[in-house]
Amino acid sequence: MIMSNSEEIEKLKACLRDAENVQSELDRRVFHLKTLYDVSKDIYGSVQSETILRNFLLMTMGNFGLMEGFIILLDAPSQSIGQLVSIGMQEGDVAALRKKVIELLARKGMAVWTDGGKSLANANLCDNSMGFSMPIRVEYGCIAFLGLGAKLIKEPFNDDDKELLDTLVNYLAIDLKNARSFVEISELNEELVAKNEQLEEALNDLKKALRKVEILEDVKVQLSKFVPNTVSRLIEKSPNGVIPESKEQDVSVLFLDIEGYTKMCEQLQGAEVNKVIENCFSAFMDAIFANNGDVNETAGDGLMVLFLNEDKQTNAIEAVQTALKIREEAVRIKSEFKALSEPLTINMGINSGRALVGAAKFESDTGSRWTYTARGLVTNVAARIGAQATHGQIFLSGATAERVKDQFTLTPLGSFKLKNLSKEIQIFQV
């Protein structure tokens, strides 16, 4: 079948129209892709919300041929305008826009963020010069509003434009969400860094404090070698140096000395004497501490020991038990030191009763000195009784004997007139 010229011409026109439509669609798609590329490249190049909003506006307005536009970012926690970015708008118009938004927030409150953008869409925020506007849901607690001016070519925004703007707005929402996440992460990181610095500072302070504790413990250990346990306990209870006043309490006092100490010093070298004394007193200390005694004073070959248990019978029993154990240890030490030509004899005296016990302070030109002791007649009598003992005897006063008579075998020795005492004192041997 042969077509006429007119038919061929119509067919060519139809093909040309189809080609034009295809080209138009291709141009539209190319424009969309180029616009998406330009906008996404600029907004994804920053993590600052204001920069993202400004770049979005610039690229969108440039691609659509616009002279003015704005974006408002609203923050739910503060129920206020987070950011307002405008391009090409007069200052008065921007101020009027800000005022409308503030009034809307005051009127609607949280509904602005929870009604899907209806409050923003119906608030008549844009004047007649604006050609397009739409709310943008970024995420919960963050919503935006976009306003674009009329096109320079005087054409309205068509469906293709709105489809492209929907896509661009979705890109914008994603980038704003990422930016907000970045800000949150940055704030958390800064908070973490600050806490790490605080933790490191606290750790350093703790190390310094622990070092001080270690030093104080070392000092305590060293002082314990020289300071009576009672004094150590007082210092621990009152580290600020306020020592409680002396008080009267019941106590048993034990005095001991090494018989023939001067003769032993003549027979042995100084180092040997020191070794014997150290071994003696070390063994004595074990016996004393085992029975809750407290060495109050040392003087060459002698010791003064206090037994401060609140129970009268108990402190007396502990004193006698200590004396017996010391006598037993003296026999053992003599067998270990062949250089000793004579038995190691320890004489002891014990008295019990009430005495003034506590710390005493002595002031002088060279400073102050503290001592802890039991003062009074009980102490003096114990010393005098100890001076009466010979050949390793253990003497008790009548007061002590009365307390321990049911626990130990005692031998009454009678009444003795002791130095500087007006009354005679009964003495018992254990």
> For 245-262, what is each residue's pLDDT tens digit?
788 999 999 999 888 776
Co-location of 78 and 176 in the same domain: yes
Co-location of 260 and 362 in the same domain: yes
pLDDT tens, 93-121?
999 999 999 888 888 888 888 887 788 88
Whole-model pTM: value is 0.50
Cα–Cα distance for residue pair 61/388, rounded to 1 Å: 118
Q: Please give the structure tokens belonging to residue 384.
A: 């005098």
pLDDT tens, 342-390?
667 889 999 999 999 887 766 677 666 666 778 889 999 999 999 999 9
Cα–Cα distance for residue pair 117/108, rounded to 1 Å: 12
- Mean pLDDT of the 69-89 span: 90
Co-location of 252 and 384 in the same domain: yes
pLDDT tens, 112-146?
888 877 888 887 887 777 888 888 888 877 888 99
Domain presence at residue 203: no
* Long-range residue pairs from 55-60, CB within 8 A, at least 24 positions apart, any chain: 56/168, 56/172, 57/85, 57/87, 58/87, 59/35, 60/35, 60/148, 60/165, 60/168
Report whether 116 contacts 102 (CB < 8 A). no
Query: Which percentage of the chain shows pLDDT scores above 70?
Result: 78
pLDDT of residue 234: 60
Q: Residue 240 pLDDT > 70, yes or no?
A: no
Checking DSSP bridges between strand 394-397 and strand 345-364, what pairing results, if any? parallel
Domain presence at residue 220: no
Co-location of 297 and 377 in the same domain: yes
Diameter of the chain measured on Cα atoms: 167
Burial 91-130 (b: 16+ CB within 10 A, else e): eebeeebeeebeebbeebeeebbeeebebbeebebbeeeb
pLDDT of residue 235: 59
Query: pLDDT band at 310, cuts 50/70/90?
Result: very high
What is the domain-level CATH number for residue 274?
3.30.70.1230
Q: Residue 402 pLDDT > 80, yes or no?
A: yes
Tell me which residue of 27, 75, 71 sits closest to 53, measured CA to CA. Answer: 71
Query: pLDDT band at 415, cuts 50/70/90?
Result: very high
Co-location of 332 and 423 in the same domain: yes
Domain presence at residue 230: no
Q: Please give the structure tokens belonging to residue 177.
A: 């969400």
Domain presence at residue 233: no
Domain presence at residue 196: no
- Mean pLDDT of the 22-48 span: 60
3-state SS assignment for residue 328 = helix
Residue that wins the pLDDT comparison between 427 and 5: 427
What is the domain-level CATH number for residue 119?
3.30.450.40
Domain presence at residue 50: yes
| Side chain identity at residue 34, one-letter code | K
Domain presence at residue 143: yes
Domain presence at residue 214: no
pLDDT tens, 183-231?
788 888 888 888 999 989 988 888 888 887 776 676 666 555 555 566 6
Average pLDDT, the chain: 82
Domain end call among 185, 201, 227: 185
Domain end call among 185, 208, 236: 185
Burial 150-167 (b: 16+ CB within 10 A, else e): bbeeeeebeeebeebbee
Co-location of 294 and 419 in the same domain: yes
Co-location of 270 and 153 in the same domain: no
pLDDT of residue 412: 95
Residue that wins the pLDDT comparison between 198 and 33: 198
Residue-range definition of the domain harbouring residue 314 = 246-429
Those residues with Cβ within 8 angstroms of residue 319's Cβ, 6 or more apart along the chain or in another chain: 252, 253, 254, 291, 293, 305, 307, 350, 352, 400
> How far is Cα of residue 324 from the mean position of the Cα atoms in its chain?
52
Q: Please give the structure tokens belonging to residue 333.
A: 């030490």
Sign of the CA dihedral running 371, 373, 377, 379: negative
Co-location of 180 and 324 in the same domain: no
Residue 327's alpha-carbon distances to 167, 331, 385, in angstroms, are 104, 7, 17
Those residues with Cβ within 8 angstroms of residue 91's Cβ, 6 or more apart along the chain or in another chain: none
Tell me which residue of 96, 70, 95 sits closest to 84, measured CA to CA. Answer: 70
Co-location of 19 and 112 in the same domain: yes
Give 154's DSSP letter: -
Spell out where 260-325 has E strands.
293-299, 302-307
Q: Residue 239 pLDDT > 60, yes or no?
A: no
Q: Residue 6 pLDDT > 80, yes or no?
A: no
pLDDT of residue 44: 56
Co-location of 269 and 368 in the same domain: yes
Look at the chain and report how many structural domains it folds into.
2
Domain end call among 170, 185, 200: 185
Co-location of 323 and 174 in the same domain: no
Co-location of 165 and 251 in the same domain: no
Query: Which percentage of the chain shows pLDDT scores above 90?
Result: 26
